C-alpha cells in the first residue's frame, strides 16, 4: 500500500559497509514508509543479504559510511537486541539451531523483551501460552515445535515458519525477510507468504530480500529495487520484478558497466533512488 | 555501536573474596609426625584415630604426587603451609548465641544464615570455617528421627564406634597421595548417619569456608545410610581472594547398605584465581561411594565452577546386586582455570547399573578435561553403563579433552558412550540478540540449556542458584 503521507519508518542514506575490510555495500539509499512492502532483488553477491544483516546489527559487518534512521532515530548506534526491542525484525535466510534452549522459553523471553520496551506488561508462562497458541495459526504450525529446542532438527520449511511465528509474536514495525522463500516447497511457501500478508498492516512495513519472482507472486510489493555491486541500481513498481523475471539479470551487468564508466568520469554515485 | 562483541567484556569480580578478621589459633607451618600428633591431641581423639592418622602419614611419606592429570602447576611445598587453623573460641558452642557474631555474620554474607530466625526451613546446615565446624543447625530435630548430623570431630567423641567402623573403609588411608595426606591431617568435616528405614526429613548441607591465607583445608566427610535409608546432602564452598594458592584436599566417603539411597550434590565455588591465573584454590579431592548393599543407590551431582586447579573423580563402587551409581557433572572453567575431573564406576555385583552425564564448559584460556573409568568386573553379569560426555567451547583459546577408560571383564555387560563437542557460535548469539535478548543473557540461556540434564538433578533449592552462579562466572568470559 503506497501512502505518500505515511510516516517514514526507515531511512537509509548512502550506506556503506564492509566485512573483513572488503567493501560490500557501496552507498545504498532507501526510504520505507509505514504500510509499504518493498522487495530488494539481485544476484548472489549483490549485497542484498549484507544489507539485511547490517540493518539488524550483525557484528561481523562494519559500517564505513552513511546513515540509517529508524523512525527518526539513529539506528546504527544501537545494539542488535535494542533494535529488535524497538521493532526491527530480521527473518533469517538460514535460522541457526540452538540446542538445549527451549523454543517456547526463547519465544517468551523475546516477546517480553519487546513488550517491556514498548511499556507493556510482561507475560507470564500461562498468558504467553495463550498468545503463542493463537499466533501459531498464522503459520499453521504444530504446537509440538514449541516443546523442542530452537530450530533443532527442524526442516527448512519448519525453520521458516518458526521465523514467521516470531514475527507474529514480536509485531515489528519493520520486518526484513532475508530470502524467506529459499528452500521452501510450494505449500510451505504459500503458508509463509500467507503469514506475511496477514501480518502486514498500514502501521508496519516489510522489506523482502529475494532472488526470485515466485515469492512476489504471493506477496505483492509496492516497490521493487534491483541491487548490484553494493548499490541499488534501479527502483520501480512491481512491473520491474516481472521484467527481471522475463529478461534475467544480464541487463543489470550492462547497466553496471555503463554506470561504472560514468561514475569514474563524474566521481559521483551513479544513481539516486528513494 | 554499543554491542558487546565476543571478548569485549570484563570479568565479574568474585563476590565471596572477602577475609573475615578474626583471631585464629594456628599451629606452625610444616608437617611431620609431631604435627599429626598435635592435631589429634587438639581434638582429644581416641587412640584408634591417632593410629589411623600416623599410619596414613607414614604411607604418604612414601608416595609421590600424581602427575598423570592434564594439569600444570608449580610444585606444592608441603612444608610451607599450616595444617590446622581454627577461630579462637571455646570448644563447640552449645547454642548459636554463643558463637562469635563475626562468624555468623561471615556465613550470612555468604548467603548461609545460621540463626534460628533466618535459616532455611528445610535445610540443615553444618558450617565449617577453616579447620573446624562452628555450628550445625537442626541437630535436635534430626535426632528425633534418629538421624545424626554433626561435625566429624563431635562424631569422634560422641559416636566413636560408628567412626571406627566406617572411617577409611571406602577410601583407605593409603588410597592415593592426597587422600593419604588428608587421612593424616584432616581437621573437620561432616558426619551423617541415617539409621535403618529412615528417610531423612530434610536436605542436609555442609558449607565450607577457607579464611586463612596460608592454611590448607583438609576436611573429611562420612555419610552412612543403613538398610532402606535415604538422604540428600549438599556441599558448598567459597574462599577469600588471595594472590597465593591454598591447598584443599578433602575426602568424602559414602556407604549405602541394602536398599539405601544417597544423593550427594556439590556446588563448588572456591576462589578461582584472577584472569591471569594468580591465586586460587588447588582442589585435590577424593570422593567415593560404596554401594555395599543390594539395590542401593549413590548419586553424585557436581557443579564445579571455582578453583584454580580441580582434580576430582567422585566414584561409585557397585558391590551390591542391582545397585545403581550415577554421576552428573557440570564443570566450568574460565580464564586460566584447569580442571581434570570425571568419575569411576566400578561394577562388581551382578546387574549393577551406572549413568554418567558430564558437561564441560571451557572459556577464556582454560583447560577442561573429563576423565572417567567404567570398569565391569567378572562377576557383574548383566551390568550396564551409559555415559554421555559433552563439551562446550566458548571463544577460541579454551581447551576441552575427554579421556574415557573402559575395562570390561564380563561379556554379558552393555556399555554405551556418547560424546559431543560444541561451541557457542557468533551466529547463535546474533540470532538471539536479533530477537531482543541481551548478549549475556543469550550466553547464559545457551549454557543453562546445555547443562539442563545436570541441573535437573540438583535439589530444587539449589538448581536456580547453580544456574545463576554459572551465568555470573561466565559474565565477561566470552573471548
Residue contact B445–A109, C-beta within 8 A: yes
Predicted confidence at residue B98, as pLDDT, reads 67
> Higher pLDDT residue, B306 or A71?
A71
Q: How confident is the model at residue A249 (pLDDT cuts 50, 70, 90)?
A: confident
Residue contact B431–A95, C-beta within 8 A: yes
Chain A and chain B share a number of CB contacts under 8 A equal to: 93
Q: Which chain B residue shows the shortest CA-CA distance from A63?
A: B1
Q: Which chain B residue shows the shortest CA-CA distance from A116?
A: B436
Evaluate whether residue B17 is within a structural domain.
no
Could you tell me which residues come within 8 angstroms of residue A149 by beta carbon, excluding any fewer than 6 positions away? A97, A98, A99, A100, A101, A102, A103, B449
| B236: β partners | B207, B267
Predicted confidence at residue A70, as pLDDT, reads 97
- Is the model's pLDDT at B425 over the cut of 70? yes
Here the cell at position A82 is: 535494542
The answer to whether residue B47 neighbours chain A at the CB level (below 8 Å) is no
Task: Return mean pLDDT, chain B.
Answer: 86
Evaluate whether residue B9 is within a structural domain.
no
- Is the model's pLDDT at A65 over the cut of 60? yes
Interface test with A, best of B357, B436, B454, B478 (most A CBs within 10 A): B436
- Three-class DSSP category at B340: strand
Query: Among A42-51, A184-193, B267-276, which stretch is predicted with the lowest mean pLDDT?
Result: B267-276
Predicted confidence at residue B24, as pLDDT, reads 74
Evaluate whether residue B3 is within a structural domain.
no
Q: Which chain B residue shows the shortest CA-CA distance from A77?
A: B1
Kindly state the average pLDDT of the residues B438-443: 88
Query: Among B89-103, B161-175, B362-376, B408-422, which stretch is predicted with the lowest mean pLDDT?
Result: B89-103
Evaluate whether residue B309 is within a structural domain.
yes
Residue contact A80–B438, C-beta within 8 A: no
A111-168 pLDDT per residue, tens: 999 999 989 999 998 999 999 999 999 898 999 999 999 999 999 999 999 999 999 9
- Is the model's pLDDT at B112 over the cut of 80? no
Chain A: residues touching B (Cβ < 8 Å): 56-60, 63, 76-85, 89-90, 92, 95-96, 98-102, 105-106, 109-110, 113-114, 117, 149, 166, 170
Percent of all residues in chain B with a pLDDT value above 70, rounded to a whole number: 90
d(CA B179, CA B66): 12
Residue contact A59–B445, C-beta within 8 A: no
| B329: β partners | B302, B358
Q: Which of B426, B436, B438 sits opposite A59 (nearest CB)?
A: B426
Q: Which chain B residue shows the shortest CA-CA distance from A59?
A: B5
Residue ranges with strand state E in chain A: 8-19, 22-33, 37-42, 61-70, 73-74, 88-91, 98-102, 149-150, 174-178, 205-210, 223-228, 231-236
Evaluate whether residue B10 is within a structural domain.
no
Residue contact B3–A79, C-beta within 8 A: yes
> Higher pLDDT residue, A27 or B86?
A27
Evaluate whether residue B346 is within a structural domain.
yes
For residue B429, count other CB atoms closer than 10 A to its CB. Answer: 24
Q: How confident is the model at residue A86 (pLDDT cuts 50, 70, 90)?
A: very high
Residue contact A109–B441, C-beta within 8 A: yes
Q: What is the CA radius of gyration of chain B?
A: 22
Predicted confidence at residue B319, as pLDDT, reads 98
Kindly state the average pLDDT of the residues B350-369: 94
Predicted confidence at residue B340, as pLDDT, reads 94
- Return the CATH architecture of domain A8-96+173-266: 3-Layer(aba) Sandwich (3.40)
Contact present, B468 and B269 (Cβ < 8 Å): no
Evaluate whether residue B8 is within a structural domain.
no
Q: Which chain B residue shows the shortest CA-CA distance from A84?
A: B436
Q: What's B341's DSSP letter?
A: E
In order of B347, B350, B414, the CA distances from B381 in angstroms are 9, 5, 10
B223-258 pLDDT per residue, tens: 999 999 999 998 887 777 777 788 889 999 999 999
d(CA B410, CA B346): 12
Boundaries of every domain in chain A: 8-96+173-266
| B98: β partners | none
**Cell 505483492, residue located:** A220
Q: How confident is the model at residue B8 (pLDDT cuts 50, 70, 90)?
A: very low
- String of DSSP letters for A16-59: EEEETTEEEEEEEEEEEETT-EEEEEE-TTSSHHHHHHHHHT-T
d(CA B326, CA B254): 13
> Higher pLDDT residue, B324 or B451?
B324
The answer to whether residue B6 neighbours chain A at the CB level (below 8 Å) is yes
Kindly provide the b/e burial profile for residues B371-380, where b requires at least 16 CB atoms within 10 angstroms of the residue's own CB: bbbbbbbeeb
Task: Return mean pLDDT, chain A.
Answer: 90
- Is the model's pLDDT at B4 over the cut of 70? no
- String of DSSP letters for B194-249: E-TTPBPSSEEEEEEE---TTB-B-BEEEEEE-TT-EEEEEEEEE----SSEEEE-
d(CA B335, CA B272): 9
Domain that holds residue B301: 24-474
Chain B nearest-CA distance from A112, in A, is 9
What does the H/E/C string look like for A13-28? EEEEEEECCEEEEEEE
Domains in chain B, number: 1
Chain B nearest-CA distance from A6, in A, is 26
d(CA B378, CA B373): 16
Q: Which chain A residue shows the shortest CA-CA distance from B441?
A: A109
Kindly state the average pLDDT of the residues B9-35: 73
Evaluate whether residue B118 is within a structural domain.
yes
- Is the model's pLDDT at B84 over the cut of 50? yes
Residue contact B445–A101, C-beta within 8 A: yes
- Is the model's pLDDT at B5 over the cut of 70? no
Amino acid at each position: 500500500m503506497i501512502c505518500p503521507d505515511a510516516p517514514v519508518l526507515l531511512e537509509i542514506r548512502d550506506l556503506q559497509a564492509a566485512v573483513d575490510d572488503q567493501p560490500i555495500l557501496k552507498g545504498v539509499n532507501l526510504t520505507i514508509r509505514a504500510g509499504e512492502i518493498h522487495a530488494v532483488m539481485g544476484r548472489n553477491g549483490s549485497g542484498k543479504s549484507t544489507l539485511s544483516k547490517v540493518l539488524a546489527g550483525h557484528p561481523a559487518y562494519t559500517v564505513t559510511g552513511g546513515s540509517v534512521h529508524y523512525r527518526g532515530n539513529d539506528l546504527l548506534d544501537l545494539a542488535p537486541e535494542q533494535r529488535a526491542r524497538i521493532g526491527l525484525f530480521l527473518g533469517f535466510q538460514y535460522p541457526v539451531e540452538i540446542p538445549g534452549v527451549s523454543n517456547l522459553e526463547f519465544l517468551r523471553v523475546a516477546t517480553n523483551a519487546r513488550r517491556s520496551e514498548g511499556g507493556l506488561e510482561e507475560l507470564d508462562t500461562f498468558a504467553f501460552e495463550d498468545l503463542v497458541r493463537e499466533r501459531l495459526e498464522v503459520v499453521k504450525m504444530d504446537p509440538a515445535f514449541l516443546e523442542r529446542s530452537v530450530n533443532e532438527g527442524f526442516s527448512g520449511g519448519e525453520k521458516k515458519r518458526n521465523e514467521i511465528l516470531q514475527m507474529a509474536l514480536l509485531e515489528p514495525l519493520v520486518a526484513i525477510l532475508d530470502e524467506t522463500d529459499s528452500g521452501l516447497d510450494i505449500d510451505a511457501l504459500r503458508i509463509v507468504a500467507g503469514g506475511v500478508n496477514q501480518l502486514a498492516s498500514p502501521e508496519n512495513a516489510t522489506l523482502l530480500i529475494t532472488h526470485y519472482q515466485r515469492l512476489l507472486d504471493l506477496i505483492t510489493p509496492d516497490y521493487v529495487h534491483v541491487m548490484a555491486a553494493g548499490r541499488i541500481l534501479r527502483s520501480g513498481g512491481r512491473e520491474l520484478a516481472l521484467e527481471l523475471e522475463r529478461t534475467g539479470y544480464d541487463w543489470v551487468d550492462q547497466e553496471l558497466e555503463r554506470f561504472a564508466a560514468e561514475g569514474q568520469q563524474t566521481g559521483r554515485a551513479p544513481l539516486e533512488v528513494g | 555501536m554499543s554491542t558487546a562483541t565476543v571478548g569485549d567484556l570484563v570479568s565479574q569480580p568474585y563476590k565471596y573474596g572477602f577475609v573475615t578478621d578474626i583471631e585464629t589459633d594456628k599451629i606452625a607451618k610444616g608437617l611431620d609426625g609431631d604435627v599429626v600428633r598435635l592435631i589429634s591431641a587438639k581434638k582429644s581423639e581416641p587412640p584408634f584415630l591417632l593410629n589411623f592418622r600416623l599410619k596414613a602419614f607414614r604411607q604418604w611419606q612414601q608416595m609421590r604426587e600424581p602427575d598423570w592429570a592434564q594439569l600444570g602447576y608449580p610444585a606444592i611445598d608441603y612444608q610451607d603451609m599450616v595444617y590446622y587453623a581454627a577461630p579462637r573460641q571455646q570448644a563447640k558452642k552449645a547454642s548459636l548465641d554463643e558463637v562469635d557474631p563475626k562468624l555468623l555474620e561471615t556465613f550470612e554474607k555468604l548467603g548461609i544464615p545460621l540463626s534460628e530466625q533466618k535459616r532455611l526451613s528445610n535445610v540443615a546446615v553444618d558450617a565449617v570455617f577453616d579447620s573446624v565446624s562452628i555450628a550445625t543447625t537442626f541437630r535436635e530435630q534430626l535426632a528425633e528421627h534418629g538421624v545424626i548430623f554433626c561435625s566429624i570431630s563431635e562424631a569422634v567423641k560422641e559416636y566413636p564406634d560408628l567412626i571406627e567402623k566406617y572411617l577409611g573403609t571406602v577410601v583407605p588411608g593409603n588410597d592415593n597421595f592426597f587422600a593419604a595426606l588428608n587421612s593424616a591431617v584432616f581437621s573437620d568435616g561432616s558426619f551423617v548417619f541415617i539409621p535403618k528405614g529412615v528417610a531423612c526429613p530434610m536436605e542436609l548441607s555442609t558449607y565450607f569456608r577457607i579464611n586463612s591465607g596460608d592454611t590448607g583445608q583438609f576436611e573429611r566427610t562420612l555419610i552412612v545410610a543403613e538398610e532402606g535409608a535415604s538422604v540428600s546432602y549438599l556441599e558448598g564452598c567459597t574462599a577469600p581472594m588471595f594472590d597465593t594458592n591454598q591447598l584443599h584436599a578433602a575426602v568424602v566417603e559414602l556407604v549405602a547398605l541394602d536398599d539405601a539411597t544417597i544423593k550427594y550434590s556439590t556446588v563448588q565455588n572456591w576462589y578461582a584465581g584472577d584472569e591471569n591465573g594468580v591465586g586460587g584454590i588447588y582442589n585435590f579431592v577424593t570422593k567415593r561411594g560404596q554401594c555395599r548393599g543390594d539395590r542401593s543407590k549413590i548419586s553424585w551431582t557436581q557443579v564445579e565452577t571455582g578453583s584454580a586447579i580441580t582434580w576430582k573423580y567422585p566414584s561409585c563402587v557397585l558391590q551390591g546386586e542391582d545397585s545403581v551409581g550415577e554421576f552428573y557433572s557440570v564443570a566450568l572453567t574460565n580464564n586460566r582455570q584447569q580442571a581434570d575431573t570425571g568419575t569411576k564406576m566400578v561394577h562388581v555385583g551382578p546387574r549393577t547399573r551406572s549413568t554418567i552425564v558430564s558437561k564441560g564448559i571451557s572459556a577464556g584460556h582454560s583447560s577442561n578435561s573429563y576423565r572417567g573409568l567404567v570398569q565391569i568386573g567378572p562377576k557383574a553379569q548383566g551390568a550396564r553403563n551409559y555415559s554421555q560426555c559433552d563439551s562446550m567451547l566458548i571463544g577460541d583459546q579454551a581447551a576441552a579433552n575427554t579421556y574415557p577408560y573402559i575395562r570390561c571383564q564380563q561379556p554379558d555387560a552393555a556399555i554405551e558412550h556418547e560424546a559431543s563437542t560444541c561451541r557457542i557460535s557468533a551466529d547463535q548469539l546474533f540470532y538471539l540478540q536479533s530477537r531482543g535478548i541481551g548478549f549475556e543473557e543469550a550466553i547464559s540461556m545457551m549454557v543453562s540449556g546445555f547443562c539442563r540434564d545436570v541441573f535437573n538433578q540438583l535439589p530444587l533449592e539449589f538448581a536456580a542458584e547453580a544456574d545463576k552462579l554459572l551465568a555470573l562466572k561466565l559474565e565477561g568470559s566470552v573471548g
